[in-house]
Amino acid sequence: MRWLLRALGIVAVLALAGAGWVAWRLQDRPDLSRYARYEMSAAPPATRRPRVSVSFLGVATLLISDGETHLMTDGWFTRVGLGDFLLQRAVSPDTDAIARGLQRAGVTRLAAVMPVHSHYDHAQDAPDVARRTGAILLGSESTAWIGRGAGMREQQIRVVEPGVPTHFGKFTVTHILSKHVPLPGNAQKGPPLTAPLIPPATVRDYPMGGAWSILIEHPLGTALVQGSAGFVPDALKGRRADTVFLGTGALTRQSEEYQDAYLREILDAVDAHRVIPIHYDDLFAPVGDALVPSPALVDDVPAAFDRLLRWASEEEERSFALLPWWTPVVLFD
């Protein structure tokens, strides 16, 4: 009996030490100050000159506007705490955070809100954002069921047909089927939703549901939003985008070959001239005054940036840029 108690004691001490180590390592965040010179400058006050602006609102949430028509990817403002995530506690969208986020970004009307896939960190708040802004919720079948679960009317929901463009003002939006970055567990798998997802729900209740490369064309320029660091070989063949918002979350956890293939299949495929990383901030940190990068334990953000800088240095017309936190910049003019 004594040996059993002793063994249990040792296991408990090791578990505590392990948890302590993880907690300590999660505080270890990279210093990104050496990349500050790549940050785009805030857009000057609007003039009559036509332009398309973009604001980075965290993770893969982007607000893209030409002054008349406003589009948003994801629209995610809730942050699920690490404890709720690990313990699979059911959570609801944080309606205060959503209201605060839209107000801070100066959003009252949106033409469309478009989750890059249906995981909670992309699609959880999209129905509420759509309801507050009159936006069409545009995404996968799973995204539509998340909308229905939140009580959205059918007229405000549109299920994407891959490769078929939708027009919003002067914008043309085309969703091209892509893949999710490989993660431990089954990020790709898990059946799509076939019934309304009614919150509160656990993060695992949000299936991936199909990952998109979203092509956003405008007379002033074309951008591609790649939310997750996955790809389908040749899926973007024949498409063109000047600027790619490239999801780098968990990219540095993949093999060198995978990382090369990702850049080739996304950036090179569309002949991009400018790459702007997204999805490198900490999913668990509340949305605050400054971007909080992913902890080194989760992702090597500087290594991802350095890889993109190498890609940019390969040809003269290429560039690497960073979006400032919650500040509109000129994307095309």
Interface contacts to Zn ion, rule CB under 5 A: 119
d(CA 112, CA 84): 30
Please identify the residue of the shown chain whose CB is closest to the bound Zn ion.
119
| Token reading at 256 | 């060198």
Question: Closest separation between CB of residue 78 and Zn ion, Å?
Answer: 15
d(CA 76, CA 283): 10
| Token reading at 32 | 């990104």
What is the CA 4 to chain-centroid distance, rounded?
48
| Token reading at 288 | 């605050």
Q: In this complex, which beta carbon is closest to Zn ion, that of residue 35 or of residue 120?
A: 120
Question: Closest separation between CB of residue 259 and Zn ion, Å?
Answer: 18
Q: In this complex, which beta carbon is closest to Zn ion, that of residue 171 or of residue 262?
A: 262
Question: Closest separation between CB of residue 185 and Zn ion, Å?
Answer: 11
Question: Closest separation between CB of residue 213 and Zn ion, Å?
Answer: 14
Q: In this complex, which beta carbon is closest to Zn ion, that of residue 170 or of residue 258?
A: 258
Q: In this complex, which beta carbon is closest to Zn ion, that of residue 250 or of residue 329?
A: 250
Q: In this complex, which beta carbon is closest to Zn ion, that of residue 120 or of residue 168?
A: 120
d(CA 213, CA 229): 10
Q: In this complex, which beta carbon is closest to Zn ion, that of residue 119 or of residue 218?
A: 119
Question: Closest separation between CB of residue 119 and Zn ion, Å?
Answer: 3
Residue with structure tokens 């019934």? 195
d(CA 316, CA 297): 34
Question: Closest separation between CB of residue 176 and Zn ion, Å?
Answer: 17
Q: In this complex, which beta carbon is closest to Zn ion, that of residue 169 or of residue 258?
A: 258
Question: Closest separation between CB of residue 286 and Zn ion, Å?
Answer: 20
Q: In this complex, which beta carbon is closest to Zn ion, that of residue 76 or of residue 332?
A: 76
Other C-beta atoms lying within 10 Å of the C-beta of residue 240 = 13
Partners of residue 278 on adjacent β-strands: 247
- Residue 291 φ/ψ region, left for φ over 0, alpha for ψ in the -120 to 50 degree band, beta for the rest: beta
Residues 220, 66: contact at Cβ < 8 Å? Answer: yes
Pairing mode, if any, of strands 70-73 and 112-114? parallel
CA distances from 33 to 6, 29, 195 (A): 48, 12, 46
Partners of residue 72 on adjacent β-strands: 63, 113
Question: Closest separation between CB of residue 280 and Zn ion, Å?
Answer: 14
d(CA 197, CA 175): 23
